[in-house]
Amino acid sequence: MGPSALEWVERYLGHLQHERRLSTHTISNYQRDLSRLLEFGESGGFSDWSEVDPRAVRDFVAWRHRRGAGGRSLQRELSALRGFFNYLLREGVVRNNPGADIPAPKSEKRLPRALDVDQTAHLLEIKGDEPLVRRDRAVMELIYSSGLRLSEAVGLDLDSVDRHDASVRVIGKGSKARVVPVGREALKALSEWLQVRSQLAPIEEKALFVSQRGGRLSARSVQQRMREWGIKQGLDSRVHPHMLRHSFASHILESSGDLRAVQELLGHADIATTQIYTHLDFQHLAKVYDKAHPRARKRRED
């Protein structure tokens, strides 16, 4: 490819910096992605931007895929390509955007790792009666007991938990409220935490979980403390709050097989999200269908 091709990339990056005022990090990402497009052109894919057509874009995607690029990377690179050609179109260098109708390959869903039952029990068996230890134990027990998101856990107020009814009212995504059960061990840990909460929290503080300074506990602090507890408890995996939520869903589903119930407990609007979240595979669905569907039973009996 001639120097003019590289020059247009440099002009586009300048446009991103000075006209669109994107961050240095974002511009660096665009530069990296477009450098791969330039590399493809230099390898024989095309010699000028005006030569790039939808077929060349498909060839580029296949070329990157052969070199190990995954779905997410290809999605990002195609997005960079489309943005660049929109700029060239505006500048009159090309007559159309060859990447406009090229779909990006689907990327595999990354499933969060779950702890098994024994690992979870070991993590939650943290010793100590200090206020911070009691608080951490209560946070982790509640997330695992009720399948809470991290944001839901740190957003709880004192009146969010009904210890008499063994339930907690949480505000989930889209400000949707739901009430979920709280298990025996979580209630016990919460009671132990509430006995010492006043040592940290001022009387006017409404947050259920507070920091050492007395304000509402932050999500970042929970992440850091859980990571530290995972190390102290000798777990191989890097422990984080979402792992406990996923463990809750996996353990409930394994025991009950009730996908709809897990959907309600997790606060998912779409059951497809729950199905992915709990890595429910087709074999499990087939077994449930075979056992439960009247026609399936009839076929088997025949």
| Burial of 133 (C-beta count, 10 Å sphere; 0-12/13-18/19+) | middle
Per the CB < 8 A criterion, the answer to whether 170 and 267 are in contact is yes
DSSP assignments along the chain, one per residue: --HHHHHHHHHHHHHHHHTS---HHHHHHHHHHHHHHHHHIIIII-SSGGG--HHHHHHHHHHHHHTT--HHHHHHHHHHHHHHHHHHHHTTS-SS-TTTT-PPPPPPP-PPP---HHHHHHHH-----SHHHHHHHHHHHHHHHHT--HHHHHT-BGGGEETTTTEEEEE-GGG-EEEEE--HHHHHHHHHHHHHGGGTS-TT--BSSB-TTSSBPPHHHHHHHHHHHHHHTT-SS---HHHHHHHHHHHHHHHH--HHHHHHHHT-SSHHHHHHHTT--HHHHHHHHHHH-HHHHHHHH-
Mark whether 173 is an active-site residue: yes
- Of 149, 197, 225, 240, the catalytic one is 149
- Residues in a beta bridge with 178: 170
Catalytic residue list contains 251: no
Q: Which of 64, 240, 245, 246 is catalytic?
A: 245
Q: Is 245 a catalytic residue?
A: yes
- Please indicate whether residue 149 is annotated as part of the active site: yes
Is 279 considered catalytic here? Answer: no
CB 217 within 8 A of CB 210: yes
Whether 30 sits among the annotated catalytic residues: the reply is no
CA angle 82, 84, 88 (to 5 degrees): 110
**Annotated active-site residue in 227, 242, 279, 284:** 242
> Which residue in 173, 238, 293, 297 is the catalytic one?
173
The helix-helix angle for 24-40 and 71-90 (nearest 10°) equals 90
Catalytic amino acids?
149, 173, 242, 245, 268, 277
